[in-house]
Amino acid sequence: MNAANNKSLLTGGLVKQAVKDSIKKLNPVIMMKNPVMFVVELGTIVVLLMTLLPGVFGAEERVGFNVTVFFILLFTVLFANFAEALAEGRGKAQADSLKKAKKDMAANKVVAGGIKVVSSADLRKGDTVIVSQGEMIPGDGEVIRGLASVDESAITGESAPVIKEAGGDFSSVTGGTRVVSDQITVRITSDPGESFMDRMISLVEGAKRQKTPNEIALNTLLISLTLIFLIVVVTLAPIAKYAGIDLEIPVLISLLVCLIPTTIGGLLSAIGIAGMDRVTQFNVLAMSGKAVEAAGDINTMILDKTGTITFGNRMASEFIPVSDQSLAAVAEWAAISSVKDDTPEGRSIIELMKKRQLPYEASLAQGGEFIEFKAETRMSGIDLPDGRRVRKGAVDAVKTWVAAQGGVIPADLDEKANAVAREGGTPLAVAVDNVMCGIIYLKDTVKPGMKERFDQLRKMGIKTIMCTGDNPLTAATIAREAGVDDFIAESKPEDKIAVIRREQAEGKLVAMTGDGTNDAPALAQADVGLAMNSGTVAAKEAANMVDLDSDPSKIIEVVAIGKQLLMTRGALTTFSIANDVAKYFAIIPAMFTLAIPQMEALNIMGLGSPSSAILSALIFNAIIIPLLIPLAMKGVTYKPMSSSQLLSRNIIIYGLGGIIVPFIGIKLIDMAVNIWI
C-alpha cells in the first residue's frame, strides 16, 4: 500500500479496462450524473440520427460533415468517460490487491471447556480467540491478554513488526495480520463483512465516493453555464433565420459543445477520485472525498500527546521518596498498586522492581479489589483485604485524595514532582491511606522529526495545539520539545471537544489526530479526524481518516493533498472557461461569414474554411480532455501561498494559457483538416 506500489497500478491492463468502462458509461442513466457531458451525448445522438436519416432531416448534402461531427462528439464523451474510469480503475486495482490479502483462515476460538478450531467467517463480535506465533489474526479485535509482535505489512506495506499488548492504546489488531512472536488473546470486535479490511476494500474502490460541498457548488456552476449556453444556442437559430442566415443543427450543436465547459465537466469526477487515491499513496485511508477536501482548508490542528506526538511508551524509570519515606517503601507500595494493573505503566513498574532487585510482598494484594484508572479520577490502585487503600496517579489527584482523608502533604512533594516534569517525565504520586509515599518517574519520548514537521504546518498557516492529561509543567516541556504552538494540560475528553468547538465557532476548520478511546469524541467532532492505525477500534471508528503508518505528522501530506485537490479543480476550471474565448473566434466567424462577409474580420486565426474551423474547434475540444488526464490524476503542484497569490497564479498560468493554447492548437488542427478536406 505504499506510494511505489500505487504508481505501478497504472498498467496496460488498467488502461484497457478503463477503455471498456468508458463505453459502458455511455448508458444515458449513468451519463445523467454528469449533466455537462450528458448534453454532449444528446447532441451526439441528434447528429447520429441526422447522419443515418439524412432524408428525414434534409441533410443529404452534408452527410460527410455530419459523420465527422458525430465521431468527434462521440470521442469527446468517450474521453471524458475514460478519465473517470481510469481514476476509478486505480482504486479498484488497489481493492483487488487488498482482496488477495483477505482470505478465510482457521481460528482458535475459546469455548466452554477449551479451544475449538473454527473458520474466521464464523466468528462474531464478542468471540474470543487465541493467536500464537506464526498464525494469522482471524478478525479485527482488541488484545485482552498477552503481548506479541505483529506483522502488519499486509495493511501498511511496512515490513517492521509492531508491538500489540493488552491495555493502553496499542491493543487494536486487524484481521489478516500475522503474529510474529509470543501469544495473544483477542476479543473480536466486528462481524463478517464489517472488518477494517472490508471497509478498506469498499472505500478505496473510489466509485462510491460522495461528492464534496465544493464539488457540488462547482457542479451547480457548470450546470448553470450549460443551461445559459443552451438557451443562447437554441435562440440563436431563429434570430439568424430572421436575418436570412440558415444555421444547420450540427453546426449549432458544435457551437454548444465548444462553449459549454466540457473540459472541466469531463475531468471533475476524475479530479475528486484521484484526490482520494493520492491520500492512499501516503498510506492514509480516507472515508470520503469530503474529508480530503476539508483538509485543504484546515486552520487548526489538535493533537493528542501520548502515542501521537510521543511514542506513548511511558515506562517507570525511577522511584523517588518524599519526606521521611524510604526508597524501599515507595517501590513496594508502587509495586503492590500495580500487581493487578495490566496497563503498560503498571507492568513497567513491576519490571523496574525486578531490574533493581527490590523486594515487595505481592501476597498483600491477593484478594484485594483493584481500582482501574479512570479519566475522571486520574488514579488507579487497590483496596487491600486488611482495609488499607493504595493509590497511584496524577500528583494533584492523589494529593486531593490524601487530603480528603486528613493526611498531610509533604513539603518536598511538589518540588520533586516539578523536577521530574521539567525533565520531560511524568510524575505519578503513590500514597497509602493518608500517607504520601513518593513519586514514580515515568519517561516518554517525542517522536523524531516532530519539531520540523510542526514548523512546516506553521508555514502553511496551521496552528497546532497539544492536548494531554499530564500536569502543566510536563505538558510545557513536551510542547517545547515538540514545537507546538499551544497546549492544554490535564485535559479530559470533554476538554478536547470544547477546544475544537471553540475553534469551529470562530469559523475555523479543525483537524484532530489521536489514537486512544478517549480521543474518539474529539475525532468525531473535528472536521478532519485522523486516527492512528495503532490505536483503538473506537478511535478508528470515530475518525474520517486512518493513518496506516500511525504517523501523526502525516496530516501535513493530507493537508497538502487537500489543497492540491482544490487548486487542481480551480486551475482546470479556469483553463476550461478560458478555452471558450478561442473557440468563440473559431466558430462564430465560420457560422456567419458566408452570409455576412464583414464577420471575416473576427477570423483572427486565419482558419481555412467555415467547415474546417468548426471541425478544428471540435477536435481540439475533444483531445484536450485526454491530454489533461495526467494533470487531473497527479494534481497541480502545491506551494504554500496566499489566496490572492493563488488567484494571480491561476489567471496567469491557466487563464492566459487557456486562451493561448487553443489558439495555437486549433490553428494547427485547421491546417491538417484543410489538407484532409
Instruction: Using the structure block, give the residue that is written with the C-alpha cell 483537524.
Output: 511
- Any known ligand binding at 378? yes
Q: Is 304 a catalytic residue?
A: yes
The three cell numbers locating residue 354: 525486578
The three cell numbers locating residue 235: 435562440
- Any known ligand binding at 620? no
- Any known ligand binding at 84? no
Which of these, 406, 473, 477, 412, lies nearest to 438 by C-alpha position? 412
Task: Give bridge partners of residue 184 from the DSSP assignment.
Answer: 131, 146
- Any known ligand binding at 392? yes
Task: Give bridge partners of residue 406 from the DSSP assignment.
Answer: none
Q: What's the rounded Cα separation, in Å, for the pair 522 and 512? A: 7
- Any known ligand binding at 515? yes
- Any known ligand binding at 496? no
* DSSP of 25-89: TTSHHHHTTSHHHHHHHHHHHHHHHHHH-HHHHT-GGGHHHHHHHHHHHHHHHHHHHHHHHHHHH
Q: In b/e form, how buried is each residue of 214-240, taking b as 16+ CB within 10 angstroms?
A: bbeebbeebbebbeebeeebeebbeeb
- Any known ligand binding at 422? no
Which of these, 241, 289, 178, 323, lies nearest to 569 by C-alpha position? 289
Q: Where do the H-state alpha helices sit in 312-380?
A: 327-336, 344-356
Q: What's the rounded Cα separation, in Å, for the pair 660 and 585? A: 12
Q: Where do the H-state alpha helices sit in 593-655?
A: 610-634, 643-650
Q: What's the rounded Cα separation, in Å, for the pair 298 and 562? A: 9
- Any known ligand binding at 373? yes
Of 127, 304, 470, 547, the active-site residue reads 304
The DSSP symbol for 309 reads I
Q: How far is CA 65 from the centre of its chain?
A: 49
Does residue 353 sit in helix, strand or coil?
Answer: helix
- Any known ligand binding at 345? yes
Contacts of 494 (CB under 8 A, 6+ apart): 521
Residue 610 burial (10 A CB sphere; 0-12, 13-18, 19+): middle
- Any known ligand binding at 569? no
SS3 content of the chain, % helix, strand, coil (to 5): 55, 15, 30
Q: What's the rounded Cα separation, in Å, for the pair 628 and 572? A: 9
Cβ atoms within 10 Å of 89's Cβ, excluding its own: 26
Residue list for the binding site for Mg(2+): 515, 519
Please report, in range form, the residues annotated as the binding site: 341, 345, 373-380, 392, 515, 519
The residues annotated as belonging to the active site are 304
Q: Which residues are annotated as a binding site for ATP?
A: 341, 345, 373-380, 392
